Amino acid sequence: MDKRDFAFDKVNFILLAVGMVIVIIGFLLMTGPGSSDTVYEPDIFSARRIKVAPIVCLFGFVSMIYAVMRKPKETGVRSQESGDRRQESGDRRQESGDKE
């Protein structure tokens, strides 16, 4: 399969993986002991679980959206091929103009 058939390049996949790791870290920050009917755990309302972890998750989701929306940069091979195609189409137009 040709490399130009993919919508993402290597950098997109790396950014997507980093975003997923950040989201997982955010969810891990939210974990902790829970309260039950017999025992009240005040840590359920800690700043880490209420403020920090959701912000970390949000940052991870935003970075994943950026990874999906980011356009891959043109490589030398791609730009050379597109230049060749433009040259061929220009040659065809010139030939058709000569025949008229």
Q: How confident is the model at residue 15 (pLDDT cuts 50, 70, 90)?
A: very high
- pLDDT of residue 85 exceeding 90, the answer is no
**Structure-block tokens of residue 64:** 């994943």
Query: pLDDT above 70 covers what percent of the chain?
Result: 69
pLDDT for 72 beyond 90: no
Angle made by CA atoms 56, 62, 63, in degrees to the nearest 5: 90
Task: Give me the mean pLDDT over the 38-58 stretch.
Answer: 91
The predicted structure's pLDDT at residue 21? 97
Predicted confidence band of residue 68 (pLDDT cuts 50, 70, 90):
very high
Distance CA 24, CA 50 (A): 16
- Residue 94 vs residue 33, higher pLDDT: 33
pLDDT of res. 92: 60
Average pLDDT, the chain: 81
